[in-house]
Structure 1
Amino acid sequence: MNIRKSTVNDLSRIAEIFIFNNRINYFPIFKDEHYSFGELQVVSLVDYWKQNKEIIDNVYVYDDGIVKGFIEIHGTEIYKLYVDPFFQNNLIGKALITFAIENYKVNYLWALEKNTKAISFYQKYGFHITKYRKFEEDTTEYLIKLER
């Protein structure tokens, strides 16, 4: 299997994947240049994660010689699931979500209503929108649960 627990040595690659996906998927929604291109930087994110061991303790990476994606799991909730855009559509996301379901019995996550690509991905693997909450002024976040 290509999925393993993350280490401190993975943090810069995880940060790259997170930041690149964040800019592609969330900048068009929030249009916050200061955050997306100012605050959100690899070095500061790695420093933050190093100080918050709970994060790295809950992250698993897809690594086939190159870290191509990661998933962060807390209890039975998926906090984050990202695949480097250059490696998407290669079943890496499927491998990560299957790993989480089989090993950690994950059964829910939150996703932004406007992130239709992510919602579609989760629905493909048995997750369904069950309720919603306001995330920010003009943004709704959906609770997406796995139906078994």
Structure 2
Amino acid sequence: MEVLFYVIPIVMIAGVSVMAAKTIGRSRQISGAWDHGLTAEARCLRSYTTTSGGGGDTSVSTSLHHVYEFTTREGRAVRFDEVNGPSTVIEGDYVTVYYLPDRPERATAHPPARGKLAAGTGCMLVFFGVFIAFCVGFMVVAHMIFSATDDFMP
């Protein structure tokens, strides 16, 4: 029974660590596209929203997606979906996209905003760090409680 007080937090820490790695990876991709990438004119083919959360007593989160298509300098047509784009971009609009030549499918239509990217990534990493610290603290307290009860058992 007490093993659950260690296994569940460790699984949660592993999941949060994967999410932190993905956050850092996407931030590096966007920053690399802005700093060392190429630009192209892309057309917004579609915009749509997705919702998550159950409603009722739980909060509902809505994300705006855009589907863009552009042609690389080599003539390859690339289509990609990006989350949290500007709500002012609608179907048929043209925007500038930034992409790395070796991975054009990971392009971004977000205009360069290094401070905003750093702040957003930093906030996510702080949140993940606090979550991991809570899990570790939980395991320490659980260990102390189980150790104390073992001392009183005959």
TM-score, L = length of structure 2: 0.25
Q: Which has the larger radius of gyration?
A: 2
